[in-house]
Amino acid sequence: MQAHCLRREGRKIPGKFAEAGVPVFAVNVPAVHRVVAIDGPAASGKSSVARELAKQIGFDYVNSGAMYRAVTWHILQHAISPGDGDAIARLLETSRIDGDLDGDGSRISIDGVDPTAHLRDDRVNDEVSLVSSVPRVREILVAKMRAYASNRDIVMEGRDIGSVVFPKTPYKFYIDALPDVRVRRRIAQGQRDKIAARDQADSSRRGSPLVIAEDAHVIDSSNLTIEGVVGEIIDRLKMKGMNIQLRINE
């Protein structure tokens, strides 16, 4: 069951009903953890939006792309071909992947090394889509993403968060922008990143491709500021009945 759903962790109660053969379960106080899923193509602005949204509504922020980037860096450090799914799966069986949230997003360390400084290296940009298409990589990281939501409210951004990782969350957004706007944004960040190639690879892979979830609210951010997009998401969350206490001045 998804973390954002009502969780009923049953415990058998001894007593007359149980003795009579009737299965009786105590229902723990339901814990409801909310997940806001934000998906979209490369450089659509979703990281800035997701981070700011999380800050304003007091949720934890998780950048799932950073997790795929960390694993890509680890694989490249071990000189394993990003296209060799079997070798990648073998390496991951013996790698210790630890994840945590540090207030400004998820941090991953692999075998005790934190690769944060390398996540935007050119070689990681070039290979991350290929590594992300390896099923074992996705299995391991999706389990960690779901674990993050087991005890807290989160805003998570990525490619398949609304479609695969948390398909039952009612709070799904897809942020897009015109291709030339996205290319300009990435250049302004000082990065060499072949985003069209990444989008093509991410959209056409067999497992968990980049898709617009059926029930996602689509926002074209081409002519919007970050605040504009965040405002639209907050309005939508309120419309859907989310109880939000804004923390604008913190």
Provide Rg for the chain, Cα atoms: 20
| CB 42, min distance to ligand CDP, A | 4
Among 34, 51, 69, 107, binds ligand CDP (CB under 6 A): 69
Residue with CB nearest ligand CDP? Answer: 65
Asked if 60 is part of the footprint of ligand CDP (rule: CB under 6 A), the reply reads no
Asked if 148 is part of the footprint of ligand CDP (rule: CB under 6 A), the reply reads no
Helices (H), 58-121: 64-77, 85-93
Asked if 198 is part of the footprint of ligand CDP (rule: CB under 6 A), the reply reads yes
Strands 10-12 and 25-27: antiparallel
By C-beta, is 107 or 198 nearer to ligand CDP?
198
CA 193 to chain centre: 20
Asked if 47 is part of the footprint of ligand CDP (rule: CB under 6 A), the reply reads yes
Asked if 106 is part of the footprint of ligand CDP (rule: CB under 6 A), the reply reads no
List the interface residues with ligand CDP, window 25-44 (CB under 6 A): 42-43
In this structure, what DSSP letter does residue 98 have? E
In this structure, what DSSP letter does residue 113 have? B
Q: Is the dihedral of CA 131, 216, 186, 203 positive or negative?
A: positive
| CB 158, min distance to ligand CDP, A | 3
**CA 1, CA 132: separation in Å to the nearest integer?**
24
Enumerate binding residues for ligand CDP (CB under 6 A): 42-43, 47, 64-65, 68-69, 128-129, 132, 158-161, 198, 202
